Amino acid sequence: MKLKRDEDFDIIDLANTISLEELGKLININSDRISVHFGVNKVQFDSIVYDTAMNGASLVIYTESSELDNLNQDDFFGPCFADYEGPKADE
């Protein structure tokens, strides 16, 4: 999703004027409509956003999977790692 300066002026102005705390609140308000995609072991996953928090000068976005001690605990993620033997060494 690319922004166009001449068409998206209002949202660009909003992004440039709100604080990180306010951005976190906006993300929390819309969290049920936001998922984070990430790759592990050449497998693409996604996880629903459930909270944000400030960490110094950075905004941290927490997902449902970030609450697991180990991704193997998840019903979906676990089987993806069951047979993983680590990276293959070049012969």
User: What's the pLDDT band for 88 if we cut at 50, 70, 90?
Assistant: low
Q: How far apart are CA 20 and CA 85, in angstroms?
A: 40
pLDDT digits (tens, 9 = 90+) for 29-78: 999 898 888 776 677 778 889 899 999 999 999 888 777 767 677 776 67
pTM for this entry: 0.64
> So where are the chain's domains?
9-81
Please name the helix (run of DSSP H) or strand (run of DSSP E) that holds residue 73, with its range, or none: none
Q: Which two tokens stand for residue 33?
A: 């409509």
Chain position carrying tokens 């951005």:
23
Tally Cβ neighbours within 10 Å of residue 90: 4
pLDDT at 17: 94
